[in-house]
Amino acid sequence: MFHANPDGRKQAETGLSWRKNTNRNYCSPTSDYRGADLNRNFDFMWACCGGSSSNPCNETYHGASPSSEPEVQAIQDYILSLFPDQRGPDVNDAAPPDATGLFIDLHSHGRLTLWPWSWTPSPSPNNSGLQTIGRKLAYFDGHTPKQGYGLYPMDGEAMGFSYGMLGIPAYLIELGTAFFQDCTYFENTIVPDNIPTLLYALKIARTPYLTSMGPDSINIALDIGSAPAGIPAGTIVTMEATIDDTRYSAAGGAEPTQNVIAAEYYIDVPPWVISPVPVAIAMSSKDAVFDEKIEDVEAVIDTTGWSEGQHIIFVRGQDADGDWGAFSAAFLYISNSIDIDGWLITCIFILIFSLLFMHRYIGVST
C-alpha cells in the first residue's frame, strides 16, 4: 500500500514533520499536534504497556479506542483479507513453521529492521524465526536487525497486529537517515539497497519461516553463446550457479550457517505446483564435493523436445540442516525459426556461385 496516511502526507508536504493523521477531534482542530498516531492505533495490545500516549496532543497518541481511525480500519481489513489466521489466541502460541505470508511496514527513518514484540522485552514465541528472516532482510540493505522493543516500547502498532493476530512474520523497516531524505541519498542508496530486500521478501513469502533458513541461489548463468534471442530445441546448455548459506546480517548477532549439501533445478514447474508434477533435477558441485558454506554448482541441460518459446529454470540449494533456500530463476528461450541473417548470407553465396557457373560454362556475361 503506497499510502497509509494520506492526510498526514499532505501536512508533511508543507514542510512539517507530521507523524499523525489529521483527526480534528484530538488536541485542537487547527493545532499542528492534532490527530492520532496510526502506528499506535491497531487492535492488538492497544495502549497496553506504555508504548503510546493517552494525551491527544502527544505525537504518539493512540487514539480514542482500538482501531478508532478509518485509515487503520482499512489497513486491518486489508491484512485480514489477505492472510489466514495461523496463530492461537494465547500470547505464547507460536505460528507453525510452514505459516504463509509476510508483512512489511516501511517507515522513516533509522536504517533498522524490526520484528515483534515491541510492547514487551520478552521474545515472541516465533522469535528465532523472526530473527532469522530479519537478519536475512538486513543483509541486503545494511540495516541493523533487532526486536522492536530494542528501539523503544511500542503498542498497538501494525507489525504487532499482523504477527499477533495472524502469526505471519511482520517487520517494520526504518528507511534512511532523515525524516525528509534528500533525493541523491534516496536514489543512490535507499532504492538500490532496499529493492533487493523487497525482492527477497517476495521470494520467501510462501513459507518465510522455513525458506529463510536455507541458502541463497545466486549468479545463475546459462551458456547459450551468442543466441540471447533463442536456441533451437536439442541444444545442450551448461548452467552454473552459486549456493550461499552465509548471507545474513551480523549487525545484530551471528546467525548459524551450515555447509551446502545439495542443489537442484526445475524446468517450468516449481515444487509448489501440484499439476503437472514437478521434477527435481540434481546439480553437482563444480569441485566434485559439497563441503563448503558457499558452493559453485553446475548442470548440463538437454533441451531435446522442448517447446517453442520461453522456459523458466528454477534453482535452489539445501544446507546441512536440511533447509532448502529461496529459489532464483533464469529464462531460457527456444526458437526453431530460420535465422534470417543466415538465410540471406546463404542466398547471396548461392547467387554468386550461380553467376560464376553461368559465366564459365555457358558463356553468359556477368
**CATH, residue 165:** 3.40.630.10
| Burial degree of 273 (CB within 10 A; 0-12, 13-18, 19+) | exposed
**263-308 per-position pLDDT tens digit:** 999 999 999 999 999 999 999 999 999 999 999 999 999 999 999 9
Strand ranges across the sheet with 328-334: 281-282, 260-267, 309-319, 328-334
Q: What pLDDT score was predicted for residue 352?
A: 56
**298-317 per-position pLDDT tens digit:** 999 999 999 999 999 999 99
Q: Are residues 86 and 197 in the same domain?
A: yes
What range does the domain containing 359 cover? 340-366
Strands 170-175 and 281-282: unpaired
Query: Is residue 252 domain-resident?
Result: yes
Q: What pLDDT score was predicted for residue 157?
A: 98
For the cut 90, the answer to whether the pLDDT of residue 348 exceeds it is no
Q: What pLDDT score was predicted for residue 225?
A: 78
Domains identified in the chain, total number: 3
Catalytic residue among 69, 71, 157, 174: 174
3-state secondary structure of 52: coil
Q: How far apart, in whole angstroms, are the C-alpha atoms of residue 289 and residue 286?
A: 8
Q: Which of 210-214, 322-326, 351-355, 362-366 has the lowest mean pLDDT?
A: 362-366
Q: What pLDDT score was predicted for residue 345?
A: 54
Q: What pLDDT score was predicted for residue 353?
A: 53
What is the average per-residue pLDDT within 145-165?
A: 97
Q: Are residues 230 and 163 in the same domain?
A: no
- At 345, the amino acid letter reads I
Q: Are residues 128 and 168 in the same domain?
A: yes
Q: Are residues 48 and 195 in the same domain?
A: yes
> Does the predicted TM-score (pTM) go above 0.75?
yes
Query: Is residue 194 domain-resident?
Result: yes
Q: Are residues 23 and 167 in the same domain?
A: yes
Query: Is residue 1 domain-resident?
Result: no
What is the average per-residue pLDDT within 256-263?
A: 98
pLDDT-based confidence at residue 336 (cuts at 50, 70, 90): confident
Q: Are residues 230 and 125 in the same domain?
A: no
pLDDT-based confidence at residue 340 (cuts at 50, 70, 90): very low
Q: Are residues 228 and 174 in the same domain?
A: no
Instruction: Based on the residue annotation, tell me whether 174 is a catalytic residue of this protein.
Output: yes
Name the E strands within the chain. Answer: 103-108, 112-115, 144-147, 170-175, 216-223, 236-244, 260-267, 281-282, 284-285, 294-302, 309-319, 328-334
* DSSP-H helix ranges across 205-273: 208-211
Percentage of residues in the chain having pLDDT higher than 90: 89
Q: Are residues 71 and 191 in the same domain?
A: yes
